Structure 1
Amino acid sequence: MYSRLPQAIVLLIFCASCNASENKTIASNVYRITKDIVAYGPRDPGSKGLEKVRSYLRGKVAGMGFVLQEQHFKANTPLGAIEMKNLYFDIPGTTSAMILLGAHYDSKRMGDMKFIGANDAASSVALLLGLSPWIKKQRFKYTVRVVLFDGEEAIRTWSSLDSLYGSKAYVQQIGEKESVKA
């Protein structure tokens, strides 16, 4: 469905400067976090599964020493208004200008099918969380903001009106206030 090439490139760039021990630790953490998220089952917007994953992510981010922020918003979906929450935290650089790294933590609503979304997108959330402690140690020039979006998946049928709810809400909030470089 989606190319994983951008994720692979990011992983290669970050891990090219890691030593073998760091690579193994990061890979192990990413795998464990992916398994943890998937174990909660489907996590479509507004579901109990999504709230459980959100709670897990809060604990995980706090355990890494980062301050998690939440952006609450109501998405107008084909099923009516649904409360959603984007989650984000900053990894300080030497300047306040920032680079955004994002992934969505919801999974597709599939009716009776229990779609757990391991690759779409538990693994991308796990990748960002797994790399965050390493990024923190590097003290890059730019602050890295990790954004975990709610409501990326379509509620019914993918369209410009029924998808990317969290991304759209986040862009409206950030506007011109932040100095985003990439």
Structure 2
Amino acid sequence: MSVAYHGLCRHLFLLGLSLLMLLLPGEAYESISDETLRSLPRPGNDFDINDGALLSPILIPRVPGTPGSTAVLNHFVDFFQTTLPEWKIEFQNSTSTTPMSNGKNVPFVNFIASRDPPGASPGDVEYVTFVAHYDSKLEPEGFIGAIDSAAPCAIIMHMMRSIDIALGNKWDAMQKTKTSSLDRKWGIQVIFLDGEEAFESWTADDSLYGARSLAEQWETQMHPAMSDFRTPLSAISLFVLLDLLGSQGPSILSYYQTTHWAYKHLASLEQRLCSLDMFKSSPGAPWFPDAAKDEHELKTFGGIQDDHLPFLARGVEILHLIDFTPTRRTGFQPVWHTIDDDGEHLDINTVEDWSMLMTAFAAEWMDLEGYFDTIDGPARRDEALANAEATRLAKKDEL
């Protein structure tokens, strides 16, 4: 190999490495400003357990295949169709017998909503995916499942509504400056899974009905030839699962080394929101106790069985946000799987704080700094849009 050829190879390698570092989410992820944090929309009355527009319709028994399940599914559809019309809605259906169905098939319906960059082709969009299950347990009779998982569903709905205009602002600005073709095509996706709960007792067959079906289908469902991503499963960059959230003083452990960087970003955002006096719940121990650890120091005893497992088994990167600590009797909050897991036992201030935290996380992931309406109004926003695009173009010129 000649010296000149060796130098050319080294130059191309370094250029490729630089581009790769820009594309990796853990490296490209940039923090949003305090000003943007302060401007994030609050949910107002949306989490009121009696008439809140987002949460109250979910606080009913919603066992798969029952009218309550259909009512909650219709609630999701109505929300996205009326509030977020730019989003695409899909359903993934399956059936299965259960230990309690006497040989009859029970229907399971997974709800999927996504928003893609304008002009993106199917199979070329990479998603950050926010997930919760919406079904409730068959027993005890009348079980609501407020933390499990009505509140997580409502939190995700608030997140998507809160970032939607900023997302449109970003993509409009990119189209005007013709930078969209130069950017990785990041989209955002919501999955509300059916059939997470066991009908009798938790086994590999009596649990995760919707998650197992969707992961299996998406593993083999092929995108068009020459797509950037071969299947819908491979297009998931990060699968963020929310479960058992809504009780005061949550404790969220970090379970996977490869997503510990994202966990640490959430911990940083929690501390920033607290320091800005934007959290309503009572101050206490940090929500993310593993934040100070290196990824090699994590001790997670295998993680928690939940809807992420069929996706994890197929290589999807998982960030599991579940309230669990080994010092509790069951590890979970005292209301877990009891009749007391209802709206009255939610800590609404904590639910609202989760909605603000997760909105900030989604805004950072989607690189929305400068695209929100700030406290100074639309004129300041237009200036921020122009500055954001100038910075983006400058970075690309440096390459």
Q: Match of 1:35?
A: 56
- The within-5 A match list for 1:78-157 is 78=99, 79=101, 80=103, 81-93=105-117, 96-111=125-140, 113-136=141-164, 137-138=166-167, 139=170, 142-157=186-201
Is 1:173 equivalent to 2:173 in the alignment? no
Q: Match of 1:59?
A: 78
Offset, 1:92? 2.0
- % same residue: 25
Match of 1:143, SS? strand
Encode CA deviations 1:133-171: one digit per residue, 9 max, x unaligned.
233323595211100101011111111111111111110
Cα RMSD of the aligned pairs, angstroms, is 2.6
Is 1:69 equivalent to 2:98 in the alignment? no
Q: Match of 1:7?
A: none
| More divergent stretch after superposition (68-77 vs 147-156) | 68-77
Higher strand share: 1
Structure 1 runs (4+) deviating above 3 angstroms are 16-21, 26-31, 138-141
- Name structure 2 gaps, 5 residues minimum: 1-30, 119-123, 172-184, 220-229, 239-399
TM-score, length of structure 1 as denominator length? 0.80
Encode CA deviations 1:104-139: one digit per residue, 9 max, x unaligned.
11111115x210111100111101111112333235
TM-score, length of structure 2 as denominator length? 0.38
Offset, 1:21? 5.0
Which protein is bigger by CA-based radius of gyration? 2
One-letter amino acid matched to 1:122: A
Match of 1:160, SS? coil
Give, in whole Å, the separation in 1 of the partners of 2:205 and 2:36. 41
**1:154/1:162 contact within 8 Å kept:** yes
User: 1 or 2 for the larger relative contact order (CA 8 Å, sep ≥6)?
Assistant: 1
Distance 1:35 1:93, change over 3 A: same
The count of aligned residue pairs is: 166
Distance 1:42 1:17, change over 3 A: farther
Give, in whole Å, the separation in 1 of the partners of 2:97 and 2:68. 20
Give, in whole Å, the separation in 1 of the partners of 2:95 and 2:156. 25
Offset, 1:37? 1.3
- Name structure 1 gaps, 5 residues minimum: 1-12
Offset, 1:93? 4.2
